[in-house]
Structure 1
């Protein structure tokens, strides 16, 4: 980790939604989507909202505590996947409800990558209409 352990979502093409506490992150530019374990979902919420990663080390996650190596591995995976970028900004406070949600988790920090829907996701039905072809027009790889 770096001297500044504050992160932000890397681009406007990265969107996420929580479903029953599980975060699903979608990269609209590549069509890949990412699923997180329950603890990973909470850590994603904290990191993507500007909470200093150092604050998360030692927190209770289910039956264990979050270790430095585990958190560094998770963060570096998010950086490699292009989901987060380092920020040079003051950290945001950790919401207290996130602490309780993290303590109630049961799975280790993990990210899963899926690209089975990529072809559908990168089709832009609003902007990719060609009159003679119809809708939607899939961008051809150049």
Structure 2
């Protein structure tokens, strides 16, 4: 089974959009619509084969969806978002994956725009004459 690397990552999904924040590096990740569904299914302990089978239920599913999901999960583990776990996969039913507008892209986008803010330590980086928070590069 795959599980979130809770030592480094924070995960949330809102309005179908998955967001993962690496609070060690300050990088954050967003996924395509289908990628967000796959991320959420992995968070629920679902097996990759079970996820692929649900995606295949969509009319017009691309023939290489197995490889796309495999590459997407490999990217998640390469970025250390998910790690392997010895726990068994969840056998609970998931419902359907509804692929919107035939978009079978499984993208993981990496962003650094707020890296400085995410890495700021507002509790300890405070000085009256410098303002708050005082970012590391201002030293």
How many residues are aligned here? 132
TM-score (norm 1): 0.79
| Match 2:119 to one of 102, 117, 122 | 122
TM-score (norm 2): 0.80
Partners of 1:41 and 1:47 in 2: CA distance: 10
How far has the Cα of 1:60 moved from its partner? 2.5
CA deviation map 1:2-37 (0-9, x unaligned)? xxxx10011233112223111111111111111111
Q: Hey, what does 1:77 align to over in structure 2?
A: 75
Q: Are residues 136 and 60 of structure 1, via their aligned partners in 2, closer, same or farther at CA, if it must alter by over 3 Å? A: same
Q: Hey, what does 1:18 align to over in structure 2?
A: 13
- What SS does the aligned partner of 2:134 have? coil
CA RMSD of aligned residues (A): 2.2
Unaligned runs of 5+ in 1: 1-5
Q: Which moved more, 1:107-116 or 1:60-69?
A: 60-69
Q: Hey, what does 2:89 align to over in structure 1?
A: 91
Higher helix share goes to which structure?
A: 2
